[in-house]
């Protein structure tokens, strides 16, 4: 086994994937925003175009946990920079794959309703969907329950944590 393969195995032993997802009916999609879950509104022209025709949305989030981040920080500070880079890349791929898994899970259930998720996801901080929307997503998903925190600048901690929205057609 090569060095990189060993580092990937190290990463897998440190990653603690956890996630949360919620399905919400859409009240209104109008120019400049989407209203759902009572009166929660996300303002974004690009998000409204993305979700056009969707009557429901899925909001999801996932994290790789603190253990992998501690190892990445330690290695990246000089202990073993190469290992730190491999750990970082592996954690990023795993968290993204966990959102793929959630989407596949929801699609299995939606098939019974003759519906499906959009193939793509939309995240806070992309285009005109401001990063400040991350706070609302954080609270809707109760991400604190899976060990995620949020900074005053709307950054999720641990760093290898992500959120996204997709629509149901």
Give the burial string for 87-110 (b: 16+ CB within 10 Å, else e). Answer: bbebbeebbeebbeebbeebeeeb
Domain ranges of the chain: 3-168
pLDDT digits (tens, 9 = 90+) for 28-58: 988 789 999 888 999 999 999 999 999 999 9
- The CATH number that domain 3-168 falls under is 3.40.109.40
pLDDT attached to residue 37: 81
Contact by Cβ (8 Å): 18, 60: no
pLDDT attached to residue 166: 98
CA 154 – CA 151 distance, rounded (Å): 5
pLDDT attached to residue 72: 97
Question: Per-residue pLDDT averaged across 56-81, rounded?
Answer: 96
């Amino acid at each position: 086994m090569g060095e990189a393969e060993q580092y990937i195995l190290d990463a897998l032993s440190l990653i603690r994937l956890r996630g949360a997802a919620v399905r919400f009916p859409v009240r209104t999609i109008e120019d400049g925003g989407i209203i759902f879950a009572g009166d929660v509104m996300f303002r974004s022209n690009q998000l409204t175009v993305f979700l056009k025709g969707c009557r429901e949305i899925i909001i999801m989030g996932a994290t790789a946990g603190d253990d992998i981040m501690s190892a990445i920080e330690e290695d990246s500070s000089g202990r073993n920079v190469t290992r730190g880079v491999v750990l970082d890349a592996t954690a990023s791929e795993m968290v993204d794959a966990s959102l793929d898994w959630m989407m596949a899970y929801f699609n299995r259930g939606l098939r019974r309703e003759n519906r499906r998720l959009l193939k793509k996801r939309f995240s806070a901080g992309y285009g005109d969907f401001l990063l400040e929307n991350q706070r609302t997503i954080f609270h809707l998903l109760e991400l604190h329950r899976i060990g995620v925190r949020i900074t005053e600048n709307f950054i999720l901690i641990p760093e290898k944590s992500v959120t996204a929205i997709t629509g149901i057609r």
